[in-house]
Amino acid sequence: MAVTMNNVFTSVSAAIEVVELTRWFGKTLAVDHLHLSVRPGEALGFIGPNGAGKTTTMRILATIDEPDLGDALVYGFSCTNDPERVRRRLGFMPDTYGAYPNVTCIEYLDFFARSYGLIGRERSRAIKRVLDFTKMHHMIEKPMTGLSKGMKQRLCLGRALIHDPEVLVLDEPAAGLDPRARVELKEMVANLLADGKTMLISSHILSELAEMCNRVAIIEHGRLLASGTIDQILEQYSTGSLTESGQRLTTITIGFAGDGERLAEFLKSRASSEVRVRGDQIEFLGPEDAEACRALLHELVSLGFPIHSFTPKPKSLEEAFMNVTLGHVR
Ligand SMILES: Nc1ncnc2c1ncn2[C@@H]1O[C@H](COP(=O)(O)OP(=O)(O)OP(=O)(O)O)[C@@H](O)[C@H]1O
Ligand SMILES: [Mg+2]
């Protein structure tokens, strides 16, 4: 099956397809002819500075907002023309949601189960499945208003999962969570992926997003700036400085015992003028290339320098993000 839209031909091999998506708020162009594609069973990390248009895109996918131009498709169904079919296949975890006074967690889940048309045993089974998955059994009678941030996020994820959707759209699910709750969230995302779900996940905690997602898309001012696997993005955009001869440099930290001055002098003559000694560690700008690193390490060891570690700075998604985006907050 294929769908033609705005003269763009798209296929349903994608679980999520965002095509020419455009949304204005007054004079603000929140989403600007955005194209995105998420394959079935994949988790796409959705990155961008504040005001980049992530939430707007996600809300359109969740059928609670409409584009001015273009469309978003979920398994080929249009969010604008076929929102009912989209809703059946998609669960949305918003970045904020209202807590209703005097409503307990179980009542909240039950309400959403009913609103998805689940009845009788089917509804009880759906609620039990969600409580098992999110490990929320102990808190079902708690009022929503008294929940910790971590518990709120669990409940909100549970609500998104209640109709067992194939596609999940999670808007900053890790925001405000303590380290343990973040680890637990990562585990839940991994389990959902293992279960074959497709996910679009936004976050500003890029190191964690890199752990949860297969690919990332970076947007700014509503436009796609870069997309690819984490390795592709790191390779292309997370680069160290360049020498005049075109050699890429990165920060390398060496742990040593004994005479740091002699080692620092050698590194200055051999690798770089930027050498800093800090206690029993030396930091310097050295080659990024793995072969050149190996050669330098080999030379240090064969010259008898008492080094016990040699660590080139790992490439980071943060660095790639800083290199790709301009950072104009809107
Ligand atoms: N309801 C609205 N009314 C007016 N402007 C809006 C509305 N919703 C979003 N915007 C504007 O659209 C732009 C995109 O906002 P959006 O919330 O989608 O960004 P975001 O990438 O989710 O940012 P953040 O990382 O801060 O969550 C911003 O300039 C924002 O001010
Ligand atoms: Mg947002």
329 pLDDT band (50/70/90 cuts)? Answer: low
pLDDT value for 203:
94
Model-level pTM? Answer: 0.85
pLDDT value for 9:
45
Same domain, 218 and 243: no
Please, what is the average pLDDT of the chain?
A: 90
For the cut 60, the answer to whether the pLDDT of residue 11 exceeds it is no
Neighbours of 261 (CB within 10 A): 9
* Among candidate residues 125, 179, 124, 121, the one with its CA nearest the CA of residue 150: 179
pLDDT value for 271:
61
pLDDT value for 12:
60
The CA distance from 313 to 164, in Å, is 41
* Among candidate residues 168, 200, 189, the one with its CA nearest the CA of residue 87: 168
Task: Please state the domain count of the chain.
Answer: 2
> What's the mean pLDDT in 44-59?
97
CATH code of residue 279: 3.30.70
Asked whether the beta carbons of 270 and 300 are under 8 A apart, the reply is no
Q: Ligand 1 atom closest to Cα of 53?
A: 18
- Lowest mean pLDDT of 140-144, 243-247, 249-253, name the range: 243-247
256 pLDDT band (50/70/90 cuts)? Answer: very high
Same domain, 65 and 175: yes
CATH code of residue 30: 3.40.50.300
For the cut 60, the answer to whether the pLDDT of residue 328 exceeds it is no
Same domain, 255 and 178: no
Question: Is 34 part of a structural domain of the chain?
Answer: yes
Measured in Å, residue 311 CA sits from the centre of ligand 1 at 40
> What's the mean pLDDT in 101-112?
95
What is the rounded end-to-end Cα distance, in angstroms, of the chain? 39
Measured in Å, residue 251 CA sits from the centre of ligand 1 at 36
Q: Ligand 1 in contact with 328 (CB < 6 A)? A: no
Same domain, 223 and 243: no
Q: Ligand 1 in contact with 325 (CB < 6 A)? A: no
Question: Is 328 part of a structural domain of the chain?
Answer: no
Range of the domain at 278: 239-314
79 pLDDT band (50/70/90 cuts)? Answer: very high
Identify the domain boundary among 180, 203, 236. 236
- Burial (0-12, 13-18, 19+ Cβ within 10 Å), 199: buried
Same domain, 246 and 166: no
> What's the mean pLDDT in 107-136?
96
> What's the mean pLDDT in 144-155?
91
Question: Is 289 part of a structural domain of the chain?
Answer: yes
Identify the domain boundary among 236, 265, 282. 236
For the cut 50, the answer to whether the pLDDT of residue 6 exceeds it is no
Question: b/e per residue, 284-305, with b = 16+ CB within 10 A?
Answer: bbbbbeeeebeebbeebeeeeb
Same domain, 225 and 271: no
Identify the domain boundary among 167, 201, 236. 236
Question: Is 323 part of a structural domain of the chain?
Answer: no
Q: Residue of the nearest CA to atom 8 in ligand 1? A: 56
Question: Is 281 part of a structural domain of the chain?
Answer: yes
> What's the mean pLDDT in 246-262?
86
Residue 137 has what DSSP assignment? G
Same domain, 298 and 285: yes
Same domain, 226 and 250: no
Q: Ligand 1 in contact with 67 (CB < 6 A)? A: no
Q: Residue of the nearest CA to atom 25 in ligand 1? A: 50
Same domain, 228 and 243: no
Pocket test for ligand 1, best of 29, 47, 54, 219 (most atoms within 8 A of CB): 54
Question: Is 94 part of a structural domain of the chain?
Answer: yes
* Among candidate residues 63, 285, 110, 321, the one with its CA nearest the CA of residue 202: 321
Question: Is 324 part of a structural domain of the chain?
Answer: no
- Going through 108-214 in order, the beta strands assigned E by DSSP cover 167-171, 198-202
Q: Residue of the nearest CA to atom 26 in ligand 1? A: 50
Q: Ligand 1 in contact with 30 (CB < 6 A)? A: yes
Question: Is 329 part of a structural domain of the chain?
Answer: no
Same domain, 78 and 129: yes
Same domain, 244 and 232: no
Same domain, 302 and 215: no
Q: Ligand 1 in contact with 55 (CB < 6 A)? A: yes
